[in-house]
Each structure stands twice: as C-alpha cells, then as structure tokens.
Amino acid sequence: MAAAQACLRLLHTARAALSGSEPPGTATVLAVPLAEADEALRRAGLAGNEGWLLERIYDLGLEPESP
C-alpha cells in the first residue's frame, strides 16, 4: 500500500510539474517523491518491478487531482 501511495504522489507531482507553461527544474521538484517511491518499492520487495506496478496503478483508471 505504501508503495502504491508513493507512486501516486510521484505521478501527481510529475503531472503538476510538467503541466505549467514554464516548468520549474523538474528534476529538483521530483527528487523527493522519486526517492520516496524508490524506497517504498524497495521495502515492499517491488524494486525492479516498477513497470508492472505502474501498469496496475494505471489500470485503476484514476482521475487527475483537481487544483
């Protein structure tokens, strides 16, 4: 559950960072959520299976967060 939540935070942060007309330093904005997602995936034993996990998250058909 923590891994999925961390990945969702990363996806929402990436979407927000990339949706602006003048995106900030995207790598800087994504550094913390990316590190959280990596650590959560490692703890869950899913490191190396990120593609599979993201496909499952996309299968949920989640709508983007409202501003």
Q: Spell out the per-residue pLDDT of the chain, length 67, in tens.
A: 777 788 788 888 888 777 776 666 766 778 888 888 888 888 888 778 777 777 777 777 656 555 5
Show the CA angle centred on residue 5, arms to residues 67 and 34, nearest 5°.
85
Domain boundaries defined on the chain:
2-59
Q: What is the pLDDT of residue 62?
A: 59
- Backbone φ and ψ for 44, nearest 5 degrees, come out as -80, 0
Q: What is the pLDDT of residue 21?
A: 65
For residues 3 and 46, the answer to whether their CB atoms sit within 8 Å is yes
